[in-house]
Structure 1
Amino acid sequence: MSQIPAPLLSRRVGVIVVVVSVLAAAALATVPRLGDELAIGAIVLVAVQQAFLALAILLIGRTGLAGRHTAFPVLVTFGSAAVLLLDALLEIIAVVVVSVVPVPPVAVIPPVACLLAAVTGALLVLFGVVVLRAAIVRRAVGVLVVVAGIAVLAAIAAFILDPILVGGVAPAVAVLLSGGIGLALFTPRTLP
């Protein structure tokens, strides 16, 4: 059996996911010290990262890196991608509402964001388990996918416990680790 490199589209999306994740994590980590316009820019960058992460998850599922196309892996793959796209859309909507509405409903945003992030983290953990069970990608990369979901859940817990002290550090770590999902797209394919 010989191995061929991952498809070019997969490799390109993988690079984009990793690079945008590093940039978004850096932006989130510096937001508490920066002004409002830069905070909005960081949120938009995170939304872009989540959109590319959703594409990466769909590519992982489509190329068979998440295992055979049975019901559970397909549901988890599409569920993870859909929730990430919903996250990105709601973050853009929140940015527009905060920018346009004179008195935005800021009290509603944190609970909705925490609930959606919890669903995202849980689905990313399940997606990581599916990728690990398929045993096609390197074990370290598969574990990184699970760790990304756990990091999202830990970031929510840290933010709920102490939003001022934690600031953007916990979400930045979660975004950085979730970028590791892009590494799975570099897995070579095996030819019979």
Structure 2
Amino acid sequence: AHVRYPARFQLVAAMNPCRCGIGGGGKGACGKAPRCQRDYQNRISGPMFDRIDLTVETPPVTAADMALPPPAEGTAEASARVLAARAMQEDRLRAAGIDPDTARDQAVNARASGETLDRFATPDDAGRALLMRAGAAGGLTARGWTRTLRLARTIADLDGYDGVLRRHIAEALVYRRTTVGPQGDFERQPVRPEAPAY
């Protein structure tokens, strides 16, 4: 039998930092870290991780975290920012004279064609240099390069910027499991980075 499924979907996945589920530093940390974390997370192949646009490490919530005031931006504010970014994406394509049906289909940066991406997601010189350094250091595949541009374009839209700046590229690279080493060189990390400097 042949079964056909729609190809557009959003994958959201979660995993523990290591086999025991503790991982990380601090009190009660896994005694085998960081090897335990590296071995456990490397069970997911590199090509699989390369297809994941965003990886975010979420440390355990502590009692001190619970005592903090609520964040300034809540769900309603974040939702409004997302809607504004989506409207910005659609307006940009319409203003460029792209067919309305195509504009509606490609308004979300994740679905933008290569030509549309080249036209609207090309970073400034500093951003391009940063992207080139990441690629030259082996931190980006061809797929990773394109996905980084898509993500950087979205980050710029959420910031309300028409252009893609170096800081948007840098933030997108943080989410791509690529970090900056102590000498300013890019390194491919077996364990997701926490917050590399850029």
Tell me whether the two structures share a fold, i.e. TM-score over 0.5: no
The alignment's TM-score, normalised by the length of structure 1, stands at 0.32
Greater helix percent: which structure? 1
The alignment's TM-score, normalised by the length of structure 2, stands at 0.32
- Look at both structures and tell me which one has the larger radius of gyration over its CA atoms: 2
